[in-house]
C-alpha cells in the first residue's frame, strides 16, 4: 500500500512560462518550487542563449529579465530537447523579434507537428522556414513587424494559444483568438500579472499589444497535478492506501482527472484551498477505492486531462464496466503516439482494451499481469506503467525509465518512500 504525505514538485507548464515571461520582462524574478525537469531546463538553456542571465540552484531560479524587446539573436542553434512547450511558446516570442534563429529538438520533437503554430505566426507576418512547409524541425524564424490576427483555432491546444498570445504582444494592432475548447490558461494568468492586457470571455481571448512587461518579483510555482496523477491513481488502486499530496495546483483548466475520479467513485478530498501566484492550490487526501466504476471521457473534458490519459487508462482497468475515452486524437502527437503506447502495453498486461481512432475502450475490472513495457521514450508512459505494475501479478520491465526526468525527477524515490 501507499502511505504518507509529500510536497508536490512544481508544475511543468507554469515553470516553462515562469522562465520565458521573466526573461522578457523588466526586472529580476525569483522562482521557487521550479520544476528541475529536463524539459524546463531546455527552456532555461534556450533563453540563456538569447542573452538572459538565469541562475539555477537547488532552491530557486533567478532570472534577470531583459524586457519585451531585449532578447538578443541566439549565440547558437536553440535546442528544445524533448519539449513541445518550449518550442511552441518560444516560437511565439521569436516571431516578435527581428533576428534569425534556428530551432531543433530530439527525435520525438522531430515527429511532432508545428504547422499548428507556424501557420498563425506566418499569418501575422513572421517569416518561417522548416521541413515540410514548416511543419517539422529544423525551423528557421525571422520575426518582427507583426500584424494582429483574428484566429479560430482548429485544435484545442494551450501551446498554440500561448504562442499566438505571445506573438500578439509584439504586434502593431490587437488580436482575437477563439479557442476550440478551453485549454490551460496559465499564460493568460501569468502574463496579466506581468502587466499584459489579455481579456478572456468564454472561448474568446483578446490580446492588446504592449510596450513592456514588468516582473512581479517572486513566483511560487504551484504543484503539478499532472505529476500528482500517478500517485493519485496508485493510491486509488492499491489496497489500503492513503496519501496526502500537498500543494496541488487546482486551476480548473487542469482538474479533469479529479472530475473523472469523482465520477468513478474515487475516494479523495481537498483541504486548505489557497491562492499561490494567481493559481489555486490545495492539499489532496487520496485513499484506496474498492468500488471504482467506469466512465466516459470526451469532448471539453479532454484538454483538462490530456496528459493524464495514460494513467487514467490504468485506473479504468480497475473500474467495473466499460470506460470510453474519445475525442482524444491529440494523444497521437504527444511525446509518443500515446493511444498506441497505452493500448499495446495494456494488452500485453492482459487488459481488455480496444483501440479507437481517437481514443480507446477499456472493459474492467481486470487482473493485470507483469509484462515487458515499451515506454517509447515517453515519461508519462513509463510512469503510467510503473503504476500498473504495482497491482500486476509477476514482474514488469519498463525498457526506459530515464525519460521520467523530463517531468518528474525523483519519481521512483518518492514512490519507494510511499510504498509500505
Binding residues: 12-13, 17, 84, 112, 157, 159, 307, 334, 338, 380
Pairing state between β 3-7 and 242-249 = parallel
Distance separating alpha carbons of residues 165 and 148, to the nearest angstrom: 10
First to last CA, the chain: 5
Which grid cell is 153? 483555432
CB 158 within 8 A of CB 187: yes
Distance separating alpha carbons of residues 178 and 120, to the nearest angstrom: 12
Interface with ligand S3P includes 184 (CB under 6 A)?
A: yes
- Of 49 and 380, the one with the shorter C-beta distance to ligand S3P is 380
In degrees and rounded to multiples of 5, residue 36 shows phi and psi of: -85, 40
- Of 86 and 236, the one with the shorter C-beta distance to ligand S3P is 86
Q: What is the x/- site pattern for ligand S3P, positions 311-340, by CB under 6 A?
A: -------------------x----------
CB 174 within 8 A of CB 158: no
- Of 85 and 267, the one with the shorter C-beta distance to ligand S3P is 85
Interface with ligand S3P includes 380 (CB under 6 A)?
A: no
The length of the chain in residues reads 420
- Among positions 18-37, residues that touch ligand S3P (CB under 6 A) are none
Of the listed 307, 344, 358, 378, which one is catalytic? 307
Is 132 among the residues known to form the active site?
A: no
Minimum distance of ligand S3P from residue 368's CB (angstroms)? 26
Interface with ligand S3P includes 307 (CB under 6 A)?
A: yes
- Of 279 and 283, the one with the shorter C-beta distance to ligand S3P is 279
Pairing state between β 175-178 and 150-152 = parallel
CA distances from 344 to 187, 312, 339, 384, 404 (A): 35, 15, 8, 13, 20
Q: Kindly calculate the radius of gyration of the chain based on its CA atoms and give it in whole angstroms.
A: 21
Stretch that binds ligand S3P, among 157-165, 216-224, 340-348, 369-377 (CB under 6 A): 157-165
Interface with ligand S3P includes 85 (CB under 6 A)?
A: yes
> Which residue has 490580446 as its cell numbers?
207
Exactly one of 22, 118, 157, 175 binds ligand S3P (CB under 6 A); which one?
157
Which grid cell is 376? 517509447
- Of 183 and 236, the one with the shorter C-beta distance to ligand S3P is 183
Q: Which residues are annotated as a binding site for 3-phosphoshikimate?
A: 12-13, 17, 157, 159, 307, 334
CB 279 within 8 A of CB 14: yes
Stretch that binds ligand S3P, among 46-54, 63-71, 158-166, 290-298 (CB under 6 A): 158-166
Residues at the site binding ligand S3P, with contacts judged by CB under 6 A: 13, 85, 157-159, 162, 183-184, 306-307, 330
Catalytic residues: 307
Amino acid at each position: 500500500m501507499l502511505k504518507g504525505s509529500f510536497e508536490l514538485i512544481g508544475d511543468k507548464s507554469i515553470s516553462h512560462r515562469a522562465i520565458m515571461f521573466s526573461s522578457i520582462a523588466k526586472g529580476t524574478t525569483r522562482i521557487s518550487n521550479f520544476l528541475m525537469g529536463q524539459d524546463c531546463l531546455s527552456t532555461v538553456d534556450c533563453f540563456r542563449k538569447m542573452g538572459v542571465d538565469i541562475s539555477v540552484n537547488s532552491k530557486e531560479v533567478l532570472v534577470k529579465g531583459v524586457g519585451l524587446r531585449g532578447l538578443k539573436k541566439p549565440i547558437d542553434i536553440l535546442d528544445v530537447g524533448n519539449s513541445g512547450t518550449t518550442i511552441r511558446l518560444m516560437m511565439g516570442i521569436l516571431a516578435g523579434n527581428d533576428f534569425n534563429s534556428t530551432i531543433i529538438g530530439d527525435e520525438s520533437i522531430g515527429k511532432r507537428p508545428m504547422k499548428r503554430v507556424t501557420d498563425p505566426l506566418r499569418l501575422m507576418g513572421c517569416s518561417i522556414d522548416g521541413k515540410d512547409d514548416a511543419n517539422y524541425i529544423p525551423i528557421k524564424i525571422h520575426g518582427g513587424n507583426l500584424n494582429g490576427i483574428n484566429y479560430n483555432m482548429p485544435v484545442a491546444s494551450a501551446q498554440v494559444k500561448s504562442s499566438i498570445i505571445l506573438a500578439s504582444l509584439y504586434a502593431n494592432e490587437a488580436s482575437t483568438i477563439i479557442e476550440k475548447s478551453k485549454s490551460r490558461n496559465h499564460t493568460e494568468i501569468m502574463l496579466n500579472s506581468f502587466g499584459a492586457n489579455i481579456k478572456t470571455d468564454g472561448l474568446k481571448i483578446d490580446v492588446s499589444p504592449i510596450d513592456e512587461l514588468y516582473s512581479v518579483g517572486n513566483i511560487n510555482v504551484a504543484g503539478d497535478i499532472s505529476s500528482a496523477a500517478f500517485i493519485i491513481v496508485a493510491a486509488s488502486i492499491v489496497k489500503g492506501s492513503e496519501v496526502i499530496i500537498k500543494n496541488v495546483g487546482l486551476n480548473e483548466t487542469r482538474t479533469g482527472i479529479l472530475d473523472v475520479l469523482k465520477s468513478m467513485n474515487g475516494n479523495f478530498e481537498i483541504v486548505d484551498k489557497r491562492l499561490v501566484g494567481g493559481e489555486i492550490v490545495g492539499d489532496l487526501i487520496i485513499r484506496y477505492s474498492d468500488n471504482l466504476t467506469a466512465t466516459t471521457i470526451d469532448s471539453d473534458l479532454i484538454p483538462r486531462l490530456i496528459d493524464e490519459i495514460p494513467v487514467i487508462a490504468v485506473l479504468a482497468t480497475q473500474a467495473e464496466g466499460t470506460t470510453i475515452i474519445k475525442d482524444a486524437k491529440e494523444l497521437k502527437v504527444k511525446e509518443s503516439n500515446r493511444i498506441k503506447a497505452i493500448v499495446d502495453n495494456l494488452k500485453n498486461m492482459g487488459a481488455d482494451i480496444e483501440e479507437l481512432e481517437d481514443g480507446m475502450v477499456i472493459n474492467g475490472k481486470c487482473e493485470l499481469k507483469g509484462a515487458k513495457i515499451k515506454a517509447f521514450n515517453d515519461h508519462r508512459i513509463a510512469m503510467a506503467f510503473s503504476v500498473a505494475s504495482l497491482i500486476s501479478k509477476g514482474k514488469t520491465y519498463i525498457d526506459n525509465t530515464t525519460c521520467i526526468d523530463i517531468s518528474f525527477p525523483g519519481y521512483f524515490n518518492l514512490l519507494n518512500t510511499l510504498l509500505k
